[in-house]
Chain A
Amino acid sequence: MISTPRYLGRGSWLGSRDPRVPLVVGVLAAATVIQLWDIRIVSVLFVLGQAYYRTASIPFRLVRRQWAFAVLFVSILVLVNTILTGGAIGDFDRSDLHPLFYLPLLGTPISAESLSYGATQLLRFLTFITIGFPIAYAIAPSDLGPALARLRIPEKFAFGVDLTYRFIPSLAGDLQETIDAQRVRGYEWDKGRGGPIARVRRTVPLIVPLTMNAIVGAEDTIDAMDLRGFGTGRRSWLRELAYDRADRALLLTALAIFFAVTIASLMGLTKLWVFPPLLTLAGE
């Protein structure tokens, strides 16, 4: 089965940009946000990110599940890594923390700092995702390879990303075919009993045929690419890319924010900001 990624941002303002723009903005945004621990500044970037996201005009109903998964995933990550396990909190020493209470059984201190840290971390992740979604949905599938290649990414890698991006949905189609083939044998993955290991074992009737078919199919695809001279020398790209004024403005804005945050970070202005009400609550 052959299928294509969903190009949901087609025709939008962001979708009409040079395909390198979402990629570069994504990298700059990541490099910017990673320097920030002050939730007030992260909030500003999050709002800017939302505005940026809206220019891609991605219908929410079509990505609702992806958003739900991403939010759930980062929430669990933050909850486990920064709160439940009481891991390192920025530059704070444990003796400087302002505990609010201790988790029963675990004894982990829940402090004004850890809660502020968790909230900031969550918002940082959400900002990454907000900026990252348009890369998946607002770049035409056929533009990904040329865009990466023009960004000086090695050609084999650039085309590899392009191809992977295109074949993942095809793999999803093959998976559906295998699910159907097993269902007519009375197989229902979600109806068996047992714990997580039993559930993983129940995926074997799906995973084995899917993997075998993918390997065999990949061999044909590799043959087809070899026979058209892929990877044997420097290649050209039919797709012509050129930044227009809006592209440059967007890139300059992202670059300016990056430099501003970098300078602020060097000046020590982006450190963790602890919510004053939490400090009050902790008896500060």
Chain B
Amino acid sequence: MVERTAAAEPVVRIEGLTFRYRRATEPAIRDISLTIDPGEVLLVAGPSGCGKSTLIRAINGLIPHAYPGDLAGSVMVGGRSTSEWRLRDLAGIVGTVLQDPAKQIVGATVEAELAFGPENLGLERVEIRRRIGEVAERAGIRGLLGRETAALSGGERQLLAMGGILMLRPRLYVVDEPLANLDPASAARLLGILRDLADEGHAIVIVEHRVEEALDLRPDRVLYLEEGRTRYLGDTAGFLAVADPDAVKLPFDAVLARFRADPALMGATRQPGRHGQGPAPPDEQPRLEFRGVRAGFGDREVLHGIDARLGRREIVAVLGPNGSGKTTLFRTAMRLLAPTAGEIRVDGAPAFERSVAELATTFGYVFQSPSQMLFARTVREELTFGPRNLGRDAASFDFIVSDALRRTSLDGLDGILDRPPLTLSFGQQKRLALAIALSLQPPTLILDEPSAGQDHRTARRFMQEVLAIPGLESIFLVTHDVDLALTHADRILLFRDGRVVADGPPALVVEDLDRWIGCNLRPTSLMRANARWRPADAGFLDAQMLAAHVLTGTAAAESHGEGGLTVGTG
């Protein structure tokens, strides 16, 4: 590791930074001051809307060059104010990897993408080729050379986006939520690259919700933001001692330590919500059944003969790596994609006998991003769109709308019925998408990545609200969030390469650690803690509940001890 000294010139020096976007009424960040030294890793954490993205834009120069507004204080990069640098020159000092690699990648091939930055700087062809060779080696993407970017997986794209920045050889790397689209193996690889860069003397700023995994990077300091202000800036131990475990997902040991230090926090813990009624009896007719189902896109088969039964009254989570067929499974069930072989049955009848619209009265399908569906001028119009399409009686619309809003706790927002949906916050839009699905009064919900794009607190709250919806019989969810799946589901379907490789209660599915890791899933600290302390007759507990359980003194007697499930250290 590079020895950092107090005498080293900081790469970034921010003093009293406050910034308000041109059309905003309030500043996005207020009075931020910090320095970032060569070789330092700074983790920036905080709930959604805390000002993380604005801080990044201030460091990489997009503020003030691309985002006008009122800026007070100063941001010095490489000894000069960002307003004095041209973006072209700043690109050689600050390299930024944006959250969504699909938006960042502009090259049609891997080489074209890697070359994009150096080409913009007018570097010679020979030099660009030399850098491509070096970066491909460093980022572990040599095998991707020659491939089209469209054919890459989410993890490969993220590594390529990182490679595109490595090509510019900046002194500071700013990485915005790099783990959001990555399965655990790809995440570990990316964190390894960042750690190596820091050890060589580059400065790293990483913004990440998934704090537990980001801590693997061994950050030197953590900046914890809340409502645009610095809540904490200091070492990791101090951060773990002050961070709100409800707002940021912390390692289980840290949650336990916080609860031990401040027992009052336990009072705030709540059950994650109701579970379903457990695995369905073998003779009960399932809500959804797959019999040897094959499906795919064009010549590419994604599902290779799926056999699965999803009960009428259970919560089933589908886990697996990117591209393993999780979402395709339910798209096929909804007849959005035709199976090439096999049969799908809904409540005992062949699915193909029903239209997509008819299936929507059984399955309320909530897509990952609400912005894919919101179009109407008002929330009311949005909520009546589905019932209108299905020819429901217009006299029932008032009841349907108020019922859907009540069940999703949106009814408390002032003037909600007349608000344009796109003016709602992301979390509110997620709940509106849920209300839209409920407006067709289905007994079952299908949730595609319910925690995507939400911070820990919002995602937890969202799931609690979903589980508390009255009248729902079953929930099927697709997720990357291992802890969310384990703590909420009655049953896990584990997918790999378009096949079900495990099907059973969470405790049983995680028993085979090799299989778990083989599915590119990360053993989490919560898994380890549940294996050790969870009561034998209980389901997986979330961190807060488990910590409370441990500290109430019942844990010792009920602990599985060291002989319990052994998982990695996380």
Q: Which A residues fall within an 8 A CB radius of B? A: 1-4, 140-142, 162-163, 166, 169-170, 174, 177-178, 180-188, 204-209, 212-213, 216-217, 220-240
* B64-82 near A? 1/0 per residue, CB < 8 Å: 0110000000000000000
Chain B residues, CB < 8 A from A222: 66
A218 vs chain B, min Cβ distance (A) = 9
Q: How far is the CA of A238 from the CA of B118 in the complex (A)?
A: 9
* B115-132 near A? 1/0 per residue, CB < 8 Å: 111111111110011000
Chain A residues, CB < 8 A from B151: 4
Q: How far is the CA of A239 from the CA of B111 in the complex (A)?
A: 9
Q: How far is the CA of A4 from the CA of B103 in the complex (A)?
A: 13
B65's nearest neighbour on chain A, judged by CB, is: A226
A1 vs chain B, min Cβ distance (A) = 7
Q: Are B100 and A187 in contact (CB under 8 A)?
A: no
Q: Are A227 and B88 in contact (CB under 8 A)?
A: no
Q: Is B149 located at the chain interface by the 8 A CB criterion?
A: yes
Of the candidates B87, B115, B357, B372, the one having the most CB atoms from chain A within 10 angstroms of its own CB is B372
Give chain A's interface secondary structure class: helix
Q: Knowing A232-B88, A235-B119, A236-B119 are in contact, say whether A184-B102 is a contact too (CB < 8 A).
A: no
B533 vs chain A, min Cβ distance (A) = 41
Q: Are B66 and A226 in contact (CB under 8 A)?
A: yes
A232: which of B86, B102, B104, B331 is its contact (CB, 8 Å)?
A: B86
B119: which of A185, A204, A209, A238 is its contact (CB, 8 Å)?
A: A238
Q: Knowing A2-B149, A4-B149 are in contact, say whether A178-B100 is a contact too (CB < 8 A).
A: no
* CB-contacts of B310-353 with A (<8 A): 331, 334, 336
Q: Are B360 and A1 in contact (CB under 8 A)?
A: no
B120: which of A180, A205, A230 is its contact (CB, 8 Å)?
A: A230
Q: Are A184 and B108 in contact (CB under 8 A)?
A: no
Chain A residues, CB < 8 A from B65: 226
A183-B357, A239-B112 are known contacts; what are 8 more A-B pairs with Cβ within 8 Å? Answer: A178-B373, A186-B357, A227-B61, A227-B96, A229-B121, A230-B116, A234-B122, A237-B125
Q: Are B91 and A223 in contact (CB under 8 A)?
A: no
B423 vs chain A, min Cβ distance (A) = 12
A240: which of B86, B112, B125 is its contact (CB, 8 Å)?
A: B125
Q: Is B505 located at the chain interface by the 8 A CB criterion?
A: no
A142: which of B94, B107, B124, B128 is its contact (CB, 8 Å)?
A: B107
Chain A residues, CB < 8 A from B376: 205
B29 vs chain A, min Cβ distance (A) = 18
Q: Are A228 and B150 in contact (CB under 8 A)?
A: no
Of the candidates B94, B118, B123, B150, the one having the most CB atoms from chain A within 10 angstroms of its own CB is B150
B87 vs chain A, min Cβ distance (A) = 5
A149 vs chain B, min Cβ distance (A) = 10
Chain A residues, CB < 8 A from B95: 227
Chain B residues, CB < 8 A from A223: 62, 66, 98
Chain B residues, CB < 8 A from A178: 372-373
Q: How far is the CA of A166 from the CA of B209 in the complex (A)?
A: 31
Q: How far is the CA of A134 from the CA of B122 in the complex (A)?
A: 31
Q: How far is the CA of A3 from the CA of B115 in the complex (A)?
A: 19
Q: Are B389 and A221 in contact (CB under 8 A)?
A: no
Q: Are B108 and A183 in contact (CB under 8 A)?
A: no
Q: Are A212 and B91 in contact (CB under 8 A)?
A: no
Q: Knowing A4-B149, A142-B112 are in contact, say whether A236-B66 is a contact too (CB < 8 A).
A: no
Q: Knowing A184-B334, A213-B372 are in contact, say whether A233-B88 is a contact too (CB < 8 A).
A: yes
State the 10 A-B residue pairs at the shortest beta-carbon distance, nearest first: A186-B389, A232-B88, A4-B150, A186-B357, A220-B103, A208-B375, A141-B108, A228-B117, A238-B115, A142-B108
Q: Knowing A213-B372, A223-B98 are in contact, say whether A235-B122 is a contact too (CB < 8 A).
A: yes
Q: Are B91 and A227 in contact (CB under 8 A)?
A: yes
A229 vs chain B, min Cβ distance (A) = 4
B355's nearest neighbour on chain A, judged by CB, is: A188
Q: Are A216 and B119 in contact (CB under 8 A)?
A: no
B336: which of A166, A183, A208, A220 is its contact (CB, 8 Å)?
A: A183
Q: Is B19 located at the chain interface by the 8 A CB criterion?
A: no
Q: Are A224 and B385 in contact (CB under 8 A)?
A: no
A232's nearest neighbour on chain B, judged by CB, is: B88
Chain B residues, CB < 8 A from A235: 119-122
Q: How far is the CA of A185 from the CA of B334 in the complex (A)?
A: 11
Q: How far is the CA of A163 from the CA of B150 in the complex (A)?
A: 13
